[in-house]
Amino acid sequence: MQLNYEMIAAIPKILRDISSGYGFSTTQFSENTGISPNTIKKYMTQLKECHLLKDTFEYVSSEHKWIALQSGFLHHTLLTAEEIVMLCLIEKTFRTEQDATIKRWLNRLLSKNMKRTDAQILKRIPLESIDNFEAIFNPIKKAIRNNLIIEFDYKKQNKPIERKRIAPYKIMNLEGYWYLAGLDSIKQESKAYIMANISALVVSNDTFSYGNTRDHIMRRLESVLTAYYRIEGTLIDVQLNVHKSLHEHLIRKPISPLQGPMAKIKDSDYYRLNIQVTNHAEIVPTILRHLPLIKVISPPCLNRYVVEAISKYSNDDLSGLTELHNICKDS
């Protein structure tokens, strides 16, 4: 089959449109590009039969559109749309050939990535799409591997753009969102930077050194719960009472590697849980998520914040709620 490269180049965007719910109209695309409807149908049908895309979209004749069977199916894999198209083209090319070695390699590669796409657990936990900032992943990974300083424009909500100069430590996915952990080389503060807010990235030739802190930093980042973490300072002890109905859940899936064993409280339906966090605010989303089956025992400032949040739950205006970074500022 002679390849239509204009059609192939358009397929990643077509897949993104279908995955996001917009759908894809063969007629409209044909009018805009001049590619025949038969050619479009042939490519889309072959694509639909690819192992990586099976049962993800179909053609609905009544609407004259290709639509998603699984909303957001592109977010259920670590592959980009371009990588999926490439693998599907390879699959089609070598599927009926006699080269057993290539077929074996291909089957192994497809099986590996089918697990990412079809694993039931991933289908229930969609990750933030990287489509809008995919281009910065590889430069940042290079900088992390080679201890190189990076510079970028950073836009926070309702604030002017700032030019940052950062020693990058690690790319992290926290609660489904992508962050860059790094040290602001000007302010000398370690923070989590929202990847989607980074633009105009430049990898410099300037290097940075961890000194003797590398192991400490990496251990901290491995136990991070949310983007409210801190690398500097000592760990904070938090005591929680956990209801028996939540107890088994937290045994199967601990809140963090820094969670201690849980002891039954005598004559009570609760267990005492001791955990260490890098910042008081870091554990707040976890506590609020498990209410009312979890209670803060200490520190008192953390308990006060939870009580305040509950008391203002019915308010339309939450502007008076203490900001997370201030909840234990005076303790």
Domains in the chain and their CATH numbers? 5-123 (1.10.10), 134-216 (2.30.30), 236-326 (no CATH)
Q: Are 47 and 89 in contact (CB under 8 A)?
A: no
pTM: 0.60
3-state secondary structure of 225: coil
CA-to-CA separations, 298 to 12, 138, 275, 295, 313, in angstroms, rounded = 51, 42, 11, 9, 22
DSSP β-bridge partners for residue 298:
239
pLDDT of 124 reads 47
Express each pLDDT in 249-271 by its tens digit.
999 888 888 889 999 999 999 99
- Tell me whether residue 55 is exposed, middle or buried, using C-beta atoms within 10 angstroms of its C-beta: 0 to 12, 13 to 18, 19 or more: exposed
Express each pLDDT in 38-92 by its tens digit.
999 999 998 888 878 888 899 998 888 999 887 778 876 667 888 888 888 887 7
